[in-house]
């Protein structure tokens, strides 16, 4: 199993798809990394040579991925919460942040329904 950026990528998948298992790398960025490293996107991970894996590691270092990216996003959310803006307060209360309605829907963000006694239309 190849290990890139601290993530074990699946052996049986094409390298173009396997790179998307790394946080911060999507399909477009995976193609960019492969072209920069000069690796064929159709090859399977198990068929990669050690030199190819080293080239891929070097090509991924140019991007903010995995732990650094998670930390960066966490700091951005913490900043919003600290300054007390609307987006930060909505994040803190686990409500939709981008203006969606909450009277109905928003179940994904708010969680399962909690029954309130005596509440009728």
Helix (H) or strand (E) holding 66: helix 66-83
Give yes or no for a contact between 21 and 81, defined as CB atoms under 8 angstroms apart: no
Lowest mean pLDDT among 17-21, 76-80, 107-111, 117-121: 117-121
Does the residue 120 lie in any domain? no
Give yes or no for a contact between 41 and 34, defined as CB atoms under 8 angstroms apart: yes
Residue 103 structural domain: 67-110
Q: Are residues 71 and 50 in the same domain?
A: no
Confidence tier at 2 by pLDDT (50, 70, 90): confident
Q: Are residues 53 and 71 in the same domain?
A: no
Q: Are residues 95 and 46 in the same domain?
A: no
pLDDT in tens, 16-50: 999 999 999 999 999 999 999 999 999 999 999 99
Give yes or no for a contact between 109 and 95, defined as CB atoms under 8 angstroms apart: yes
Kindly state the percentage of the chain with pLDDT values over 90. Answer: 85
Which residues, 6+ apart, have CB-to-CB distance to 41 below 8 Å?
Answer: 14, 15, 16, 30, 31, 34
Q: Model pTM? A: 0.79
pLDDT in tens, 77-96: 999 999 999 999 999 999 99
Give yes or no for a contact between 4 and 53, defined as CB atoms under 8 angstroms apart: yes
Q: For position 88, which CATH number holds?
A: 4.10.910.10
Q: Count the domains in the chain.
A: 2
Q: For position 44, which CATH number holds?
A: 1.10.8.50
């Amino acid at each position: 199993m190849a290990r890139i950026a601290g993530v074990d990528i699946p052996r049986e998948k094409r390298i173009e798809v396997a790179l998307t298992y790394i946080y911060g790398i999507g399909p477009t960025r995976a193609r960019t990394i492969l072209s920069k490293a000069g690796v064929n996107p159709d090859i399977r991970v198990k068929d990669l040579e050690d030199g190819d894996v080293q080239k891929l590691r070097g090509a991924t270092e140019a991007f903010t991925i995995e732990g650094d990216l998670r930390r960066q996003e966490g700091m951005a959310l913490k900043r919003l919460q600290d300054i007390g803006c609307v987006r930060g307060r909505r994040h803190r209360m686990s409500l939709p942040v981008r203006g969606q309605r909450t009277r109905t829907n928003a179940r994904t963000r708010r969680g399962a329904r909690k029954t309130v006694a005596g509440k009728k239309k």
